A and B are shown apart, each in its own frame.
Chain A
Amino acid sequence: MSAAEFLGTVVEKTNPDHPAASRRILRTGWEVQDYLFQHHPHPESFPADQYLAKFMMDAMLQPLKDPDHSCIVSIFTPCEMVQEAGLHPYNVEGFSCYLSASFAGGICTRKAEQDGISDTLCSYHKTFVGAAMNGLLPKPRCILYTSLACDANLLTFPKLAAYYQVPSFCIDVPADASEDAVAYVRDELVGARRFLEETTGRSIEEDALKARVKRSRESLLAYEQVQRDRADRFVPADLVTPLYSAMTANILLGTPEEERYVRMLQEDLRSALPKRGKHIYWMHTIPFWSDAVKKYFLFQDSAQIVACELAQVCSPDFDTDDPMLGMAQRLVRNAINGPAERRIANGIRHARDARADGVIWFNHWGCRHTLGISRLAKQAFEDAGFPTLLLDGDGCDRAHGGEGQTSTRIGAFLEMLRND
């Protein structure tokens, strides 16, 4: 039994009768991991990626350490305002992944299903809701979310606001990318800013916010350059680093830490060896827990996942003089917002930047939009010259496995790429 499995077993056994104690055990386990990331990072990873692992772990530990200064957010919530209000943002996808990695996801999904929540709900959301009900997820100060990009946002966050009896605010994002839509979202963001100020009693300084939004843009631009630079380099890759990037490029965008990570990565790439094996651009989330996926992509010379789509859904093309306008433009122009063609075109552009040899479109069980447009996406990627694999699975819940099938599909796809 691994240390993570042992942690999950203890949390699972303790939780029904002593939820607060199980949360403390979980926190201790995560603190140990945080220490290991700092002092014994994975030797094969680049220094930047070692830094990222610690940075992300810190973000997920914050709500357990200081829930009263934490804010639950949806993944695409512009968090610069949250950070300026002195709150630590944490999101469904990130926290649920850490629970799953700690083998504590099962008790959460079961709890949610017992409460009547559909077993077909996205497992990130189901785990998160169950964690709240199990007492593993501490009560936040408030909740700030967007209608972008999935139905589950409109369900999970109101439910948790009612469950915890904490204030919540929804930023409604229209589907079209018009100037009207940007103006509408700007007004929404003004309301969100007021909400955060009233909730925390702390005013959000305009200059500081402007500096954060400017930093966000610079980080996004630098990351785009990193992706172009890595096209002909070998970057030792695991399954979680692209996921960390996907989380930090959204909820931690605008932080000095995110900017530092991207700069470190630029530095690391200068001394990187030439490209080895196949580069895979990954659409949607990555089932980091799957042994079948690890077999092909965990620190392998033969193939690496070079990026996760979710790290590149925000275009750096936005205003920085008016931070509210800039964040509104970022939201409205988000690649996941609006018609499928926008998302697919964004994926093709970034796969091209990274000079990917192939694309895996991950049909995460529970993500209706990703599932529903997958056939269109495969056609479009292939028309653009990228061999594409539609892979069914679950990014978070081990119970939706099918490891044998996963292994065969990825194996055959990589063989196909090598034979090309």
Chain B
Amino acid sequence: METEHTLYYICKYTPLELLEGLGAHTKAWNDMPAGFGRSEQLLGSNICGFGKALLDACLSGQIHELVLTSCCDTIRSLADVLRAEGTLDFLYLLDVPHREDDCSVDRFARELRRLMEAYETYSGRILSRERFLAALQKSNGAAAENGRREGCSAVPGQTSGPYLSVLGGRMGEQLFAQTAEAMPLPLANHTCVAGRTLPAGFLSGLPAAASPDDALLRWYAGVLLRQLPCMRMVDRTGRKPLFNDPNLRGIVYHTIRFCDYYSFEYSEVKTHPDIPLLKIETDYTRSSGGQLQTRLEAFAEEIQSTESARHHHAGQNAAHQPRTQTAYFAGIDSGSTSTDVVILDGTGRIIGRTVIPTGAGARISADKALQQALRETNLRREDIRRVVSTGYGRAAIQDSDQSITEITCHAKGAHFLDPSVRCVIDIGGQDSKVIVLDESGQVAGFVMNDKCAAGTGRFLEMMAGTMEMSLDEISRHGLKYREDITISSTCTVFAESEVVSLIAENKDTDDIVHGLDKAVASKTASLVARAGGSAPFMMTGGVAKNEGLVRALTKELKSAPIISDMAQLCGALGAALYAAEL
């Protein structure tokens, strides 16, 4: 139960057992807010969202007692700001060494003593050895239970069997619940504070009962520092078991924007070819949830597909079952800009296709597009045996048998159009995606741009607006450039200001558009590299019609992407193919 005297902590190196020995009721703080408040003003915008969320919680009176650790620059700054604000009853910044050698253990023991003395002064209570030992016994029990894998914390309650893991920067409670719900296998949380597990059997080294407090603290400091290391520690080899467990079936790798620690680990993990990996980045607010749902579902589909292959069920699905001539199947791709429908006959032949603007409502547009496709193919709704929906609005479409993410559908569609394709590039209105395919057309991995418009269709749309052009017009310019302008800003807002400056300098429209094409191509090529994509490439989505951009991308990728006349309908096609296989 939370009270005014709940002592909150944020880091797994916090000496919880010692604090409980001092009579504190400890609780990890890991709550994702809907948005940020005064913290934006006090800490600034370009700071890790966790730090801002925690500051808001302190300022709102939600937190009265807090122990921080010197885990990162944001938390150090947070401690400075909180000290200046002076709103907390108890605030302590515990300096944790970056190593676990003997000198560091001695130093940490001194730090623990200082914390202990500060809390004793604040609370008026002194350390109870009995309570401290009881807390240690409790943690020892948890460590034994979780000690299934050597040197690695495990999934609580799961003693064996396949599982997925969340790694990286801390994941708030709400996002973890959302992720766990989307996944087809149990999900373990090994991010930051959630990974707090003292080493298995640590209690066997407990000093004798008569030993002085200093000996006890020194021993305890060593136990804390010997936990599975986080990325701030100098020696991180202890993290390897997190990636090498034979039961591990996939990793959701989470980073928080403006927290740099875990992008370095991600850059290493992503080269691990055996484990499906999903990288997601959030700003630590709940608003990220909706944007991430597509990725989580697509990853779940990828895991299911991998698991099926593992159990030798591949090839036994409906795709290889004979189709009947009389059945028809429809795929609806409800995108942010357009709603597309493809109808297949029982042999897999495309007999109908429609593209209409999405307009105000995904459901209404989907109905309209389907009706239009039916009219054009002289079919009735009851002639369609199954409908699969995909795209951003897929969940809103009631008239479908199943919804599948656009990532899986684009891969399916692209493989159908050209089985040689190994990488699909979809620059959409809301986001950009790069999907890597294996030989059988299954999704082998994918990345999407994070919460930023740079490199998306939206970026081009905004720039077109700045130049008082339509998207169609901007796609026709940029081919006959004379000056090779570089738009250097990666941020959409700054890029817009660069474009305004170029217009003011009277630069030629073709030259500016070429600069914009290069900027999008460069950002896209970065995504391709992050995904590990290789040629042959296929470009899907409406932006594939932009010749200037395609040319710039060809230069970046050193390979011309395949552009099918079905490029815009690739997602709907994939959905229709899945409808035929269900």
Binding site for B on A (CB under 8 A): 106, 110, 113-122, 147, 150-152, 154-155, 158-159, 170, 172, 174-176, 180-181, 184, 187-188, 339-341, 363, 365, 367-369, 371-376, 398-405
Contacts of B526 in A (CB 8 A): 110, 113-114
Contacts of A404 in B (CB 8 A): 497, 501
Other than A367-B73, A372-B80, give 9 A-B pairs with Cβ distance below 8 A.
A114-B526, A150-B73, A151-B261, A154-B232, A155-B231, A155-B264, A174-B95, A372-B43, A375-B81
Given A116-B267, A339-B83, A170:B261 Cβ within 8 A: no
The answer to whether A175 and B107 touch across the interface, beta carbons within 8 angstroms, is no
Contacts of A155 in B (CB 8 A): 231, 260-261, 264
Given A184-B103, A375-B44, A369:B260 Cβ within 8 A: no
A62 to B93, CA, bound (A): 41
Quick one: which of A118, A180, A398 contacts B110, CB cutoff 8 A?
Answer: A180
The answer to whether A369 and B77 touch across the interface, beta carbons within 8 angstroms, is yes
The answer to whether B76 and A120 touch across the interface, beta carbons within 8 angstroms, is no
Closest chain-B Cβ to A159's Cβ sits at a distance in Å of 6
Quick one: which of B44, B72, B263, B494 contacts A117, CB cutoff 8 A?
Answer: B263
Check: B112 CB closer than 8 A to any chain A CB: no
A172 to B100, CA, bound (A): 11
Given A106-B488, A116-B266, A399-B489, A372:B498 Cβ within 8 A: no
Closest chain-A Cβ to B27's Cβ sits at a distance in Å of 24
The answer to whether A376 and B263 touch across the interface, beta carbons within 8 angstroms, is no
Contacts of B498 in A (CB 8 A): 401
Check: B379 CB closer than 8 A to any chain A CB: no
A35 to B114, CA, bound (A): 56
Contacts of B492 in A (CB 8 A): none
Given A115-B267, A175-B70, A372-B78, A151:B260 Cβ within 8 A: yes
The answer to whether B77 and A398 touch across the interface, beta carbons within 8 angstroms, is no
Check: B48 CB closer than 8 A to any chain A CB: yes
List the 4 closest pairs (A to B, CB-CB), nearest first: A372-B77, A116-B267, A114-B529, A118-B263
Quick one: which of A119, A176, A340, A399 contacts B488, CB cutoff 8 A?
Answer: A399
A159 to B48, CA, bound (A): 22
A106 to B103, CA, bound (A): 42
Quick one: which of A121, A187, A365, A368 contacts B77, CB cutoff 8 A?
Answer: A368
Quick one: which of A120, A151, A373 contacts B46, CB cutoff 8 A?
Answer: A120
Contacts of B491 in A (CB 8 A): 400
A141 to B47, CA, bound (A): 35
Closest chain-A Cβ to B496's Cβ sits at a distance in Å of 11
A147 to B233, CA, bound (A): 10
A172 to B255, CA, bound (A): 25
Which residues in chain B, 89-135, are within 8 Å of chain A measured between CB atoms? 93, 95, 97-99, 103-104, 107, 110
Which residues in chain B, 468-493, are within 8 Å of chain A measured between CB atoms? 488-491
The answer to whether A368 and B48 touch across the interface, beta carbons within 8 angstroms, is yes
Contacts of B79 in A (CB 8 A): 339
- Kindly name the residue among B46, B107, B264 whose own CB sees the greatest number of chain A CB atoms within 10 A: B264
A120 to B264, CA, bound (A): 12
The answer to whether A176 and B95 touch across the interface, beta carbons within 8 angstroms, is yes
24 A–B contacts from the bound complex (CB under 8 Å): A114-B530, A115-B530, A116-B530, A118-B260, A120-B258, A151-B73, A155-B261, A172-B97, A180-B107, A181-B107, A184-B107, A340-B77, A363-B44, A365-B46, A368-B74, A368-B258, A371-B43, A372-B73, A372-B78, A372-B81, A373-B77, A375-B41, A398-B488, A404-B497
Closest chain-B Cβ to A120's Cβ sits at a distance in Å of 5
A155 to B265, CA, bound (A): 9
Check: B364 CB closer than 8 A to any chain A CB: no
Contacts of B48 in A (CB 8 A): 368
- Kindly name the residue among A106, A110, A154 whose own CB sees the greatest number of chain B CB atoms within 10 A: A154
Closest chain-A Cβ to B39's Cβ sits at a distance in Å of 10
Given A110-B526, A115-B267, A155-B261, A401:B494 Cβ within 8 A: yes
A147 to B497, CA, bound (A): 38
Given A116-B263, A375-B41, A400-B494, A369:B270 Cβ within 8 A: no
Closest chain-A Cβ to B25's Cβ sits at a distance in Å of 27
Contacts of A110 in B (CB 8 A): 522, 526
Check: B286 CB closer than 8 A to any chain A CB: no
A180 to B109, CA, bound (A): 12
The answer to whether A172 and B99 touch across the interface, beta carbons within 8 angstroms, is yes
Quick one: which of A115, A119, A368 contacts B490, CB cutoff 8 A?
Answer: A119
**Which A-chain residue is minimally distant from B267 (CB atoms)?**
A116
The answer to whether A371 and B44 touch across the interface, beta carbons within 8 angstroms, is yes
**Which B-chain residue is minimally distant from A363 (CB atoms)?**
B44
Closest chain-A Cβ to B548's Cβ sits at a distance in Å of 20
Closest chain-B Cβ to A396's Cβ sits at a distance in Å of 13
The answer to whether B236 and A158 touch across the interface, beta carbons within 8 angstroms, is yes
A402 to B79, CA, bound (A): 30
**Which A-chain residue is minimally distant from B491 (CB atoms)?**
A400
The answer to whether A371 and B47 touch across the interface, beta carbons within 8 angstroms, is yes
The answer to whether A376 and B73 touch across the interface, beta carbons within 8 angstroms, is no
A325 to B260, CA, bound (A): 33
Contacts of A150 in B (CB 8 A): 73
The answer to whether A116 and B494 touch across the interface, beta carbons within 8 angstroms, is no
A121 to B72, CA, bound (A): 13
A188 to B490, CA, bound (A): 41
Closest chain-A Cβ to B97's Cβ sits at a distance in Å of 6
A404 to B529, CA, bound (A): 33
The answer to whether A368 and B72 touch across the interface, beta carbons within 8 angstroms, is yes
Given A151-B232, A158-B236, A117:B267 Cβ within 8 A: yes
**Which B-chain residue is minimally distant from A343 (CB atoms)?**
B80
Check: B34 CB closer than 8 A to any chain A CB: no
The answer to whether A170 and B234 touch across the interface, beta carbons within 8 angstroms, is yes
Closest chain-B Cβ to A143's Cβ sits at a distance in Å of 12
Contacts of A152 in B (CB 8 A): 260
Contacts of A175 in B (CB 8 A): 70, 76, 93, 95
The answer to whether A159 and B42 touch across the interface, beta carbons within 8 angstroms, is no
A117 to B255, CA, bound (A): 11
- Kindly name the residue among A150, A367, A373 whose own CB sees the greatest number of chain B CB atoms within 10 A: A373
The answer to whether A369 and B267 touch across the interface, beta carbons within 8 angstroms, is no
Quick one: which of B51, B74, B98, B255 contacts A154, CB cutoff 8 A?
Answer: B98
**Which A-chain residue is minimally distant from B98 (CB atoms)?**
A172
Check: B210 CB closer than 8 A to any chain A CB: no
- Kindly name the residue among B44, B72, B489, B491 whose own CB sees the greatest number of chain A CB atoms within 10 A: B44
Check: B323 CB closer than 8 A to any chain A CB: no
Check: B5 CB closer than 8 A to any chain A CB: no
A413 to B273, CA, bound (A): 54
Contacts of B266 in A (CB 8 A): 116
Contacts of A371 in B (CB 8 A): 43-44, 46-47, 77
Closest chain-B Cβ to A207's Cβ sits at a distance in Å of 27
A374 to B93, CA, bound (A): 19
Contacts of B488 in A (CB 8 A): 106, 398-399, 401
Q: Interface readout for B43-64 with A: 1 if CB under 8 Å, 0 if not?
A: 1101110010000000000000
The answer to whether B522 and A170 touch across the interface, beta carbons within 8 angstroms, is no
A198 to B83, CA, bound (A): 44
Closest chain-B Cβ to A93's Cβ sits at a distance in Å of 16
A399 to B492, CA, bound (A): 11
Check: B257 CB closer than 8 A to any chain A CB: yes
Contacts of A405 in B (CB 8 A): 497
Check: B84 CB closer than 8 A to any chain A CB: yes
**Which A-chain residue is minimally distant from B97 (CB atoms)?**
A172
Closest chain-A Cβ to B557's Cβ sits at a distance in Å of 12
The answer to whether B494 and A402 touch across the interface, beta carbons within 8 angstroms, is yes
Closest chain-A Cβ to B85's Cβ sits at a distance in Å of 10
The answer to whether A174 and B107 touch across the interface, beta carbons within 8 angstroms, is yes
Contacts of A174 in B (CB 8 A): 95, 97, 107
A106 to B95, CA, bound (A): 36
The answer to whether B104 and A172 touch across the interface, beta carbons within 8 angstroms, is yes
A108 to B501, CA, bound (A): 26
**Which A-chain residue is minimally distant from B80 (CB atoms)?**
A340
Closest chain-A Cβ to B523's Cβ sits at a distance in Å of 9
Q: Interface readout for B266-294 with A: 1 if CB under 8 Å, 0 if not?
A: 11001000000001000000000000000
